[in-house]
């Protein structure tokens, strides 16, 4: 039973990772064994059981103590530091558990039995006690000293990967402290295992950061970002190795060196770094070759070579896509699949390099100038550092050097061929300045050639070529500099002579046109322009006269500009003077001439010229401003007056007829602009400085007054001419005025009447036209009466009025003829309908004027039908009358009111006959109802009922509802 219990406890302990020490059978509680101790010692069976138990304990304890944390490393695994920390914590916990078992009462009974029996296993038991005690001491020491390192590594595991590098030294410092503080852990074998585990940890964190199988997919998605991550990992791990070397060196100084080989520590780490180097190379090459997509070659064969490069690029894309589609973890150094694919990729890249060399060499052969070669080298710079390409391209670089030397020779030849032909430099720049600019351009050209050479200089291995290019460039620079120095000297001498001449010249002179102007203006402008270019030359030395002008060139420029503006203003006033304004400004012009004569006595070299010019310029500009403003006002007045002639006092409305009165907006404009004319004249009086009573001012106002009168005449003439033209049958295109023909009790008549009414309308229109001339105020102060009174006396305008009235007389006759023609319907509105009806009922017709008496003959239905049909004929005839008739080409007559009234009268006549028949039908139906019969009967007037109803229906008359109801009954 005891054995089975021990076996169960052993199995349970193994499951929990503990070492259980089984007890022998036959042991009892402590108190019972004390009373029978002598008998138990002599019990050989129990002693034998205790011996076997000690042997088993020794095996269990020895097996446990022989366990070592390096076993995982020996087995070829890659444990992390956490395995080391867990090992020692578990070891300490298990040793304490074993120690607790050995100190139990039953274990003490076993010890007491074998000791008293002087068993040979008593010493074995004592060794067990000692080994366990030493093991506990060791485990406690190691666990205590590894704890800070464990905490540091756990902290590192929680960091962002970018922070690891800064913590490498602190991690190894903790390892160093374990080495110098731990009594039992300072053994090379244990430090090798610990450092290997730390390396494994950093490898694990690095692979986790790089996302394992996703690394190579970055070749096509974002190679730059992944390459940065790979470089960061390599940098971080190399930092760890550097930190290890620093700690190791420090320990050697302290005589506590780690004397174990470093390759034992970094075996896996170096393999991992080597793998990362391969990945980095693949990404670096890919980033270089991705730039092939941007290559665009120019020239005759550029399109062809560009297509070749694009084919290379497409092949590269296929290769890099194949490499990125790997289904393994390339960061695992133990997996050789990546190495095979990487080797294949490198072979493919080498093939692309050879094809690229062919393109590049042929393109370099086609380069005719160094700038093209430099652009080509810059374009392919991303692959020129590749050894295969660099070796193949190097022979072509000698040709590029020769090309640069040839360009430098051409620059020198161009200088010698053009240096004496200054007209080729520039047509719009001083010859000396243009020559300096030309030589500067030649220098820039040489510098461009040198700069192009510097683009591919690093690819050249022959230093003699580089020295030759630099020497040739310096020769050209020295040649150009000598020429520039000579040009500056000659320019300074000529400029000094020109400046001396200018300083002696007077400011003003009379020009060839007889007008006063700035003296030597063209030569002065040329000198000032040259001085502007002199200011740009830092090494130009000026002689006395040129230096004097250069020093005060701003003042001279201001003086020249001021004088030029002054004379321009003065000459503008004098040359463009208006006839009517000359008397107003004659006195001021004489004063200005005296002022300008003072300027003629000064030269360009005189002192205090600029203040004098500014003073005189102020007077001239003030006078010029006043005169020009007055002239602008005169132009504004002329524009206003001319604008009146374009006004439409008479115009057609939307329906093409003349509006009855001139537009109020035109009146308002004429009135307002008339006031504006008056205001502008007062402004001009102030600008000219004239008095109201001066004769010259009165003549000026009379001149403006004549313009106003002429403008108003044009306005009235145009308006009356418009009216006359639109009333002339030969020239009018549409009706101008409209009347309507009305039918009243007294007969037909025009509204308004063609006689007095239309005449009054035209008179009003003409009066309104003349009224426009009364709106502007009179400008002249010596003339009386408004403009309307004067213009009404104009023969031209009176003649137009007579033409209008003559047209009115002609249209009046035609209108009366029209009205007379429509009087053929007068019997309809003049006859007495009741009398006519009574006469019809008596005689069945209307008696003629000569018939005084006739036999009474009552009408029949046919008589009624005859009268109704005659009215229908009249109705159709009137309906087809024209709604509008245009008389004499300009008077529109509206006939619709007359027609509508006449149709209403015809309708009343018809109703007179049909109402009579309706009454007859009503009486007949009433008689039939009273008799109660259903036979055909006649009406009270003797008309057959059915025929009467049919006649009414033919006439378009419907029976009332009560009569229709009686018929249905």
Q: So what's the pLDDT on residue 36?
A: 44
Beta-carbon contacts of residue 576 (< 8 Å; ≥ 6 apart): 631
CA separation for the pair 446, 450 (Å, rounded): 6
pLDDT digits (tens, 9 = 90+) for 392-405: 676 666 777 778 88
In this structure, what DSSP letter does residue 832 have?
-
Instruction: Yes or no: say if 902 and 743 are a contact pair by the CB < 8 Å rule.
Output: yes
Sign of the torsion angle spanned by Cα atoms 139, 142, 146, 148: positive
- CB burial of 29-68 (b: ≥16 within 10 Å; e: otherwise) equals eeeebeeeeeebbebeebbebbbebbeebbebbeebbeee
593, two tokens: 């001439």
251, two tokens: 């320990």
CA separation for the pair 367, 379 (Å, rounded): 14
Q: So what's the pLDDT on residue 537?
A: 65
Instruction: Yes or no: say if 365 and 328 are a contact pair by the CB < 8 Å rule.
Output: no
Q: So what's the pLDDT on residue 512?
A: 56
In this structure, what DSSP letter does residue 774 have?
G
In this structure, what DSSP letter does residue 592 have?
H
Residue 751 — φ and ψ, nearest 5°? Answer: -130, 115
Q: So what's the pLDDT on residue 935?
A: 45
Residue 268 CB-density burial (10 A; 0-12 exposed, 13-18 middle, 19+ buried): middle
Instruction: Yes or no: say if 19 and 98 are a contact pair by the CB < 8 Å rule.
Output: yes
DSSP H stretches of helix in 267-301: 267-290
In this structure, what DSSP letter does residue 660 have?
S
CA separation for the pair 666, 644 (Å, rounded): 9
Q: So what's the pLDDT on residue 34?
A: 44
Q: So what's the pLDDT on residue 35?
A: 43
Cross-strand bridge partners of residue 751: 740
Instruction: Yes or no: say if 401 and 455 are a contact pair by the CB < 8 Å rule.
Output: no
Residue at token pair 């229906």: 953
Rounded-to-5 percentages of helix, strand, coil across the chain: 75, 5, 25
Cα–Cα distances in angstroms (integers) from residue 704 to residues 564, 586, 588, 690, in the given order: 34, 20, 23, 16
Instruction: Yes or no: say if 258 and 68 are a contact pair by the CB < 8 Å rule.
Output: no
Cα 148 to chain center, whole Å?
A: 61
pLDDT digits (tens, 9 = 90+) for 40-65: 444 688 889 899 999 999 999 999 99
Question: At 722, which helix (H) or strand (E)?
Answer: helix 695-725
Q: So what's the pLDDT on residue 33?
A: 45
Residue length of the chain: 969
Among 361, 346, 343, 295, smallest CA distance to 316 is for 346
Regions of the chain short of the pLDDT cut 50: 31-38, 40-42, 660, 935-937
């Amino acid at each position: 039973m005891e054995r089975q219990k021990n076996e169960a406890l052993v199995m349970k302990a193994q499951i929990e990772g503990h070492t259980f020490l089984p007890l022998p059978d036959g042991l009892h509680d402590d108190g019972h064994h004390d009373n029978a101790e002598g008998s138990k010692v002599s019990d050989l069976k129990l002693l034998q059981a205790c011996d076997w138990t000690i042997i088993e304990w020794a095996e269990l304890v020895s097996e446990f103590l022989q366990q070592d944390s390096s076993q995982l490393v020996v087995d070829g695994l890659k444990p992390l530091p956490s395995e080391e920390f867990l090992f020692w914590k578990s070891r300490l916990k298990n040793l304490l558990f074993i120690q607790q078992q050995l100190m139990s009462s039953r274990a003490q009974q076993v010890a007491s039995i074998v000791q008293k029996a002087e068993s040979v296993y008593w010493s074995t038991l004592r060794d067990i006690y000692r080994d366990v005690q030493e093991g506990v001491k060791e485990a406690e020491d190691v666990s205590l000293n590894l704890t800070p390192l464990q905490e540091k590594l756990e902290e590192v595991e929680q960091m962002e990967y970018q922070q690891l590098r800064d913590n490498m030294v602190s991690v190894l410092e903790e390892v160093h402290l374990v080495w110098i503080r731990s009594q039992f852990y300072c053994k090379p074998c244990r430090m090798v295992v610990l450092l290997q585990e730390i390396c494994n940890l950093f490898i694990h964190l690095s692979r986790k950061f790089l996302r394992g199988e996703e690394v190579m997919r970055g070749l096509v998605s974002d190679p730059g970002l992944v390459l940065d991550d790979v470089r960061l990992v390599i940098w971080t791990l190399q930092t760890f190795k550097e930190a290890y070397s620093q700690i190791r060196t420090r320990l050697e100084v302290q005589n506590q060196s780690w004397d174990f080989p470093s390759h034992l520590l970094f075996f896996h780490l170096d393999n991992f770094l080597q793998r990362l180097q391969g990945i980095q190379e693949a990404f670096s090459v890919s980033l270089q070759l991705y730039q092939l997509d941007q290559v665009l070659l120019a020239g005759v064969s550029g399109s062809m070579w560009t297509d070749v490069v694009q084919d290379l690029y497409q092949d590269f894309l296929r290769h890099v896509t194949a490499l990125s589609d790997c289904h393994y973890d390339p960061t695992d150094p133990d997996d050789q699949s990546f190495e095979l694919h990487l080797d294949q990729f490198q072979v493919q890249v080498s093939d692309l390099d050879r094809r690229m060399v062919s393109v590049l060499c042929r393109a370099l052969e086609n380069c005719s100038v160094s700038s093209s070669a430099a652009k080509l080298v810059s374009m392919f710079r991303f692959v020129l550092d590749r050894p295969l390409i660099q070796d193949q391209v190097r022979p072509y670089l000698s040709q590029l050097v020769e090309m640069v030397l040839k360009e430098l020779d051409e620059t020198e030849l161009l200088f010698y061929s053009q240096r004496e032909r200054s007209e080729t430099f520039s047509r719009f720049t001083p010859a000396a300045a243009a020559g300096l600019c030309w030589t500067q351009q030649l220098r820039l050209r040489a510098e461009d050639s040198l700069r192009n050479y510097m683009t591919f200089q690093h690819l050249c291995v022959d230093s003699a070529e580089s020295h030759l290019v630099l020497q040739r460039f310096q020769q050209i620079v020295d040649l150009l500099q000598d020429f520039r120095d000579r040009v500056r000297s000659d320019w300074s001498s000529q400029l000094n002579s020109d400046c001396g001449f200018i300083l002696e010249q007077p400011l003003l002179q009379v020009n060839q046109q007889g007008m006063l102007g700035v003296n030597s203006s063209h030569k002065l402008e040329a000198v000032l322009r040259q001085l502007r270019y002199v200011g740009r030359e830092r090494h130009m030395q000026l002689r006395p006269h040129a230096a004097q002008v250069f020093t005060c060139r701003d003042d001279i420029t201001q003086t020249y500009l001021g004088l030029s503006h002054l004379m321009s203003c003065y000459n503008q006033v004098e040359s463009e003077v208006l006839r009517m304004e000359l008397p107003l400004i004659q006195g001021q012009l004489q004063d200005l001439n005296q002022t300008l004569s003072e300027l003629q006595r000064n030269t360009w070299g005189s002192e205090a010229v600029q203040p004098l010019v500014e003073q005189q310029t102020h007077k001239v500009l003030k006078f010029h401003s006043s005169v020009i403003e007055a002239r602008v006002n005169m132009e504004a007045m002329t524009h206003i007056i001319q604008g009146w002639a374009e006004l439409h006092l008479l115009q057609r409305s939307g329906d093409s007829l003349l509006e009855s009165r001139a537009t109020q907006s035109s009146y308002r404009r004429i009135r307002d602009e008339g006031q504006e004319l008056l205001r502008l004249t007062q402004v001009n009086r102030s600008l000219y400085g004239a008095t109201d009573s001066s004769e010259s001012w009165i003549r000026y106002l009379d001149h403006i007054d004549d313009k106003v009168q002429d403008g108003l005449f044009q306005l009235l003439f145009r308006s009356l001419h418009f009216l006359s033209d639109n009333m002339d049958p030969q020239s009018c295109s549409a009706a101008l005025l409209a009347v309507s023909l009305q039918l009243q009790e007294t007969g037909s008549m025009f509204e308004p009447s063609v006689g007095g009414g239309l005449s009054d309308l035209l008179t009003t229109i003409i009066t309104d036209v003349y009224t426009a001339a009364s709106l502007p105020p009179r400008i002249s102060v010596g003339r009386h009466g408004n403009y309307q009174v004067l213009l009404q006396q104009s023969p031209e305008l009176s003649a137009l009025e007579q033409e209008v009235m003559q047209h009115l007389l002609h249209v009046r006759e035609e209108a009366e003829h029209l009205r007379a023609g429509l009087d053929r319907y007068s019997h309809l509105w003049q006859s007495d309908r009741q009398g006519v009806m009574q006469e019809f009922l008596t005689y069945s017709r209307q008696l003629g004027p000569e018939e005084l008496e006739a036999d009474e003959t009552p009408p029949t239905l046919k008589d009624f039908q005859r009268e109704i049909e005659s009215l229908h004929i009249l109705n159709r005839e009137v309906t087809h009358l024209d709604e509008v008739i245009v008389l004499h080409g300009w008077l529109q007559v509206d006939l619709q009111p007359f027609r509508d009234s006449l149709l209403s009268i015809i309708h009343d006549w018809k109703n007179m006959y049909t109402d009579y028949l309706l009454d007859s039908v009503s009486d007949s139906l009433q008689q039939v109802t009273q008799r109660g019969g259903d036979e055909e009967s006649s009406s009270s007037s003797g008309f057959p009922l059915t025929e009467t109803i049919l006649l009414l229906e033919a006439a378009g008359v419907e029976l009332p509802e009560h009569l229709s109801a009686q018929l249905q009954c």
